[in-house]
């Protein structure tokens, strides 16, 4: 990987423009870009490695999913395997009938 210098132009996801645009390196920490400035809207932000931040909708979905999972009693691995075997046996029996 090439060594970055202040002012070098790199691609990154701009949270204001909501797309990947050219950015100038504004700050470097341990030879890695830390802060960048969008060359389209001139907004400064942390370097995101061209990854868009997760949407608020996705974060809310994940939070609700984790909440539901926390209320469900965990099933032991043996019980889960037994249930899977029973389901596969039922599917095999149905396919033989048809």
Question: Do 47 and 58 belong together in one domain?
Answer: no
41-86, pLDDT tens digit by residue? 999 999 988 888 778 888 888 888 888 877 776 666 667 677 777 7
Last residue of a domain, one of 37, 53, 69: 53
Question: Do 40 and 77 belong together in one domain?
Answer: no
What total of structural domains would you count in the chain?
Answer: 2
Which of 3, 54, 45 is closest to 24 using CA atoms? 45
Confidence (pLDDT) at 94? 64
Work out the number of other CB atoms within 10 angstroms of the CB of residue 15.
15
5-19, pLDDT tens digit by residue? 898 999 999 989 889
Confidence (pLDDT) at 35? 94
Question: Do 46 and 69 belong together in one domain?
Answer: no
Question: Do 10 and 44 belong together in one domain?
Answer: yes
- Supply φ then ψ for residue 85, to 5 degrees: -65, -40
Contact call for residues 19 and 13 (beta carbons, < 8 A): yes
Structural domain of 9: 1-53
Distance (Å, whole) CA 24 – CA 26: 6
Question: Do 44 and 75 belong together in one domain?
Answer: no
């Amino acid at each position: 990987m090439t060594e970055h210098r202040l002012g070098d132009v790199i691609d990154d996801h701009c949270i204001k423009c909501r797309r990947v645009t050219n950015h100038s390196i504004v700050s470097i920490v341990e030879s890695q870009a830390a802060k960048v400035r969008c060359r389209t809207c001139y907004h400064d932000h942390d370097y995101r490695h061209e990854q868009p931040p997760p949407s608020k909708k996705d974060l809310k979905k994940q939070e609700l999913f984790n909440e539901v999972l926390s209320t469900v009693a965990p099933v032991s691995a043996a019980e889960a395997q037994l249930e899977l075997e029973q389901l596969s046996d039922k599917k095999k029996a149905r396919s033989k009938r048809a």
